């Protein structure tokens, strides 16, 4: 329906309400209905509970509201064309779009699609203003003598479900800020590989993940990719320290009597993952859809941005922290496998570097395994 037709109809509706409908509603049951039949045989229905609600209508600036309703209905129609369900609901916020005009805080528009063999296809658009106002405007694009009543509890639930489906269809690509918190371990250890302090060898990454849906609206399959900035700590057990001597990096025992509180090698890396992920949903006890089981697997490539060693020790009543930057013969290019698994809001990750931690012949032989919990996404 064109916005101009809708505007004329709505203005006619309020003119009728101002001249005679208010007196009629004072003696009517708790819910009253005003029906306006448009020249193109469409029907518009206004349902109000009492005269006080009718008197509240002027506070909604009709010129601005009508213009925006026309735009919102057009957007709802466009979303409904690609939907697989007979009912699609979208929410809009006029007061946020045009502050200072005293427009409704929220407008919910539901598009109904149905096929009648006798009369052909028909479409119905339902506009629900904010809950505190309690007004429903129905636009039935087929001549229908039965006015539609205010939304029932079951219909409101259907609106919520269809709203989720509409959002899923509209948001085919979603982005999430994700933080991974975990630990590092050395695997496939060979010559010179040291023992790490488990809780001190931490892994942290900040990720911006893009989730691209594969298939239709209800498909749980996604491709996940996006930039990651990762920080790996390799903290040594005992009183050992990392050194780079004669072009070779190694972990050696301190021999001058100094006792270290912490001694670690740290790296920063820029990484790009690529994963295939399934995000399954389930119904809770109230029948609402929520996040269920998540599982994903894929790989990653990255590049080492920087590396440094840090020594922390206590000497002559003072605490010292020595920090030295250098390559320490670490491998620059990173690549490997990764995966996630989760249920509801709890998700775990694991990353396995297929590359050696150090360049061949210039450091201990080992590969990195990172694992922990994923926050966000």
Could you write out the DSSP letters of every residue in 248-297? EEEEEE--SS--EEEEEEEEEEEEEEEEEEEEEEEE-TTS-EEEEEEEEE
pLDDT at 176: 92
Q: Which of 187, 174, 226, 223 is nearest to 351 (CA)?
A: 187
Is this structure's pTM higher than 0.75?
no
Element (H, E) at 108: strand 107-116
| Cα distance between residue 327 and residue 369, in whole Å | 20
Q: Which of 85, 89, 123 is nearest to 106 (CA)?
A: 89
Q: Are 48 and 54 in contact (CB under 8 A)?
A: yes
pLDDT band at 93 (very low <50, low <70, confident <90, very high): confident
Is the pLDDT at 18 greater than 50? The verdict is: no
Is the pLDDT at 224 greater than 80? The verdict is: yes
| Cα distance between residue 127 and residue 237, in whole Å | 66
Q: Which of 120, 127, 148, 144 is nearest to 37 (CA)?
A: 144
What average pLDDT does this structure show over 304-318?
A: 91
What average pLDDT does this structure show over 62-77?
A: 72
| Cα distance between residue 331 and residue 351, in whole Å | 16
What percentage of residues in the chain have a pLDDT greater than 90? Answer: 42
Is the pLDDT at 169 greater than 60? The verdict is: no
Is the pLDDT at 270 greater than 90? The verdict is: yes
pLDDT at 326: 94
Dmax over Cα atoms in the chain, in whole Å?
Answer: 100
Q: How far is CA 92 from the centre of its chain?
A: 18
* Long-range pairs of 69-75 with CB within 8 A, sequence gap ≥ 24: 69/3, 69/6, 69/10, 69/107, 69/127, 70/2, 70/3, 70/4, 70/6, 70/7, 71/3, 72/107, 72/109, 72/127, 73/1, 73/3, 73/6, 73/109, 73/125, 73/127, 73/139, 74/3
Element (H, E) at 208: strand 202-213
Is the pLDDT at 214 greater than 70? The verdict is: yes
Domain locations along the chain? 3-169, 172-375
Q: 153-176 burial, b if ≥16 CB within 10 A, otherwise e?
A: eebeebbebbbebbebbeeeeeee
pLDDT at 37: 63
């Amino acid at each position: 329906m064109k916005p101009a037709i809708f505007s004329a109809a709505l203005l006619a509706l309020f003119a009728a309400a101002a001249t005679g409908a208010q007196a009629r509603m004072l003696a009517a049951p708790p819910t009253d209905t005003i029906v306006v039949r448009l020249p193109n045989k469409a029907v518009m229905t206004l349902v109000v509970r009492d005269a006080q609600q009718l008197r509240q209508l002027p506070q909604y600036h009709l010129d601005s509201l009508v213009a925006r309703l026309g735009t919102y209905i057009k957007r709802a129609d466009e979303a409904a064309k690609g939907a697989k369900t007979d009912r699609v609901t979208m929410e809009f916020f006029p007061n946020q779009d045009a502050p200072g005009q005293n427009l409704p805080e929220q407008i919910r528009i539901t598009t109904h699609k149905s096929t009648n063999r006798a009369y052909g296809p028909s479409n119905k658009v339902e506009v629900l203003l904010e809950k505190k106002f309690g007004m429903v405007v129905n636009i039935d694009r087929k001549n229908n003598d039965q006015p539609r009543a205010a939304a029932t509890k079951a219909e409101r639930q259907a609106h919520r479900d269809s709203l989720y489906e509409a959002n899923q269809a509209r948001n085919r690509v979603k982005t999430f800020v994700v933080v991974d918190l975990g630990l590092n371990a050395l695997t496939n250890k060979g010559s010179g590989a040291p023992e790490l302090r488990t809780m001190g060898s931490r892994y942290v990454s900040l990720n911006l993940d893009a989730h691209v849906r594969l298939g239709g609206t209800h498909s749980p399959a996604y491709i996940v990719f996006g930039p990651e900035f990762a920080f790996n700590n390799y903290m040594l057990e005992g009183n050992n320290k990392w050194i780079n001597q004669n072009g070779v990096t190694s972990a050696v025992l301190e021999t001058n009597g100094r006792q270290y509180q912490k001694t670690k090698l740290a790296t920063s890396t820029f990484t790009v993952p690529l994963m295939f992920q399934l995000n399954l949903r389930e119904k809770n006890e109230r029948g609402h859809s929520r996040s269920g089981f998540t599982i994903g697997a894929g790989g990653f490539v990255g590049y080492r941005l920087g590396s440094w060693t840090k020594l922390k020790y206590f000497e002559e009543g003072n605490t010292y922290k020595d920090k030295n930057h250098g390559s320490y013969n670490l491998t620059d290019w990173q690549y490997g496998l990764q995966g996630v698994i989760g249920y509801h809001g709890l998700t775990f990750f694991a990353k396995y570097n297929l590359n050696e931690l150090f360049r061949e012949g210039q450091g201990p032989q080992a590969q990195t395994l990172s694992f922990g919990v994923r926050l966000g996404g």
